[in-house]
């Protein structure tokens, strides 16, 4: 063996390299196959997208992070809507993760996989006020306006901080915190509410340390963020006194030329709204026993915040799609949560059992 190597060292080196590459490919392929088995039902690859029949709509949802499943609101709501649309479709996530700005650019780049849209992502759940040439918003407010129904996460040492707050003017004396660059921060500022922007990871640190007064969060996320068992911030609790309300929504966005997908989303949403399945999904997801008990919804003071962003959103989304009566809120006719208890969906928040 040694003599063979000494007679042809170059040949042995080449053979060894080939063996190493082959072994590496084998083990890598094994990892790919394992990963694929776990992702195959949820990930749509470019090859799979291209192989779909012409009468089937590929629906490739943008991924903003690595935590994805059928249970995310973006996926679950989209599946419900597409099921109701009657269209033939295949729904999955894009195979790679990208921030929202990149995802929106990809969608605007092309409908199918291409150099400008490598993964073939063609739909994204995006915040209000965002735009991108080549992409357009549907008129579907995914949470029906519940996103704009906000409570304050506060420090437990100041639990009565907002006890005597009754209007927007009273809030001028308190400092809210929001993530850097968030649309929420822009909305609060437009409404005249003093707002401090920081890196997202620092928001609850500042609140826990008592360096800001409150962190307004939607009722769609407050349980996951302010529930004592779901957070490591021992001093963070939910304020029991006020609701800060402003028009807000997540909207699905698609390529401007993707008429089939746009029509499927719009049609499916109309049907899901009409038969009650849309509202049912929201109730199941958000109106937990903990939320109903913690909010004490009827006894909260309502503080409505009017902003240019909110007004623009109300013009974009048909009034019948909203679950909140924005016109009455804007006129100041609704003062407390009890005034909202007669509205479908919201009445469920008024029942603690």
Residues 273-295: pLDDT tens digits?
999 999 999 999 999 999 998 99
Half-sphere exposure of 15 (CA within 13 A, CB side): 7
Instruction: Report the alpha-carbon distance of residue 245 to residue 187 in Å, rounded.
Output: 11
DSSP helix/strand/coil, 314 = helix
- Give the pLDDT confidence score for residue 353 in this predicted structure: 61
Q: How confident is the model at residue 20 (pLDDT cuts 50, 70, 90)?
A: very low
The pLDDT assigned to 115 comes to 95
Q: Can you tell me the mean pLDDT for 231-243? A: 89
Do residues 326 and 247 touch, judged by C-beta distance below 8 A?
A: yes
pLDDT digits (tens, 9 = 90+) for 158-179: 999 999 999 999 999 999 999 9
Mean pLDDT throughout 104-116? 96
Predicted confidence band of residue 351 (pLDDT cuts 50, 70, 90): confident
What number is the average pLDDT over the span 289-306? Answer: 93
Q: Structural domains in the chain? A: 46-143+250-279 (3.40.190.10), 146-246+288-349 (3.40.190.10)
DSSP code for 56:
S
Q: Is the dihedral of CA 142, 145, 148, 154 positive or negative?
A: negative
Q: What is the mean pLDDT of residues 106-135?
A: 92
* Mean pLDDT, the chain, integer: 87
Residue 219 has pLDDT above 90, yes or no: yes
pLDDT of residue 230: 66
Q: How many CA atoms lie within 13 A of 195 on its CB side?
A: 20
Q: Which of 4-18, 45-59, 73-87 has the least mean pLDDT?
A: 4-18
């Amino acid at each position: 063996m040694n003599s063979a190597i000494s007679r042809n060292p170059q040949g042995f080196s080449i053979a060894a390299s080939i063996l190493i590459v082959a072994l590496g490919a084998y083990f890598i392929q094994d990892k790919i196959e394992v990963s694929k088995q776990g992702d195959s039902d949820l990930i749509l690859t470019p090859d799979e997208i291209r192989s779909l029949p012409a009468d089937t709509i590929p629906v490739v949802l943008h991924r903003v992070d690595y935590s994805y499943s059928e249970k995310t609101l973006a996926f679950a709501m989209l599946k419900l809507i597409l099921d109701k649309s009657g269209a033939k479709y295949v729904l999955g996530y894009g195979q790679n993760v990208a921030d929202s700005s990149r995802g929106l650019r990809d969608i605007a780049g092309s409908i199918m996989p291409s150099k400008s849209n490598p993964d073939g992502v063609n739909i994204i759940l995006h915040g209000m006020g965002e735009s991108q040439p080549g992409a357009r918003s549907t008129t579907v407010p995914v949470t029906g306006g519940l996103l704009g129904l906000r409570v304050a996460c506060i420090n437990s040492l100041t639990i009565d901080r907002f006890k005597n707050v009754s209007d927007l003017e009273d809030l001028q004396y308190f400092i809210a915190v929001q993530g850097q660059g968030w649309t929420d921060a822009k909305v609060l500022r437009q409404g005249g509410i003093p707002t401090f922007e920081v890196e997202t990871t620092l928001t609850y640190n500042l609140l826990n340390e008592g360096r800001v007064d409150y962190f307004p969060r939607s009722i769609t996320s407050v349980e996951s963020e302010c529930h004592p068992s779901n957070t490591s911030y021992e001093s963070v609790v939910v304020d029991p006194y006020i609701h800060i309300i402003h028009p807000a929504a997540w909207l699905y966005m698609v390529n401007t030329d993707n008429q089939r997908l746009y029509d499927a989303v719009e049609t499916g949403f109309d049907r899901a709204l009409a038969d009650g399945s849309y509202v049912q999904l929201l109730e199941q997801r958000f109106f937990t026993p903990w939320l109903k008990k913690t909010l004490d919804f009827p006894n909260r003071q309502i503080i409505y915040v009017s902003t240019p962003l909110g007004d623009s959103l109300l013009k974009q989304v048909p009034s019948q799609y909203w679950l909140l009566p924005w016109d009455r809120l804007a006129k100041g006719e609704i003062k407390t949560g009890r005034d909202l208890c007669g509205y479908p969906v919201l009445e469920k928040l008024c029942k603690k059992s």
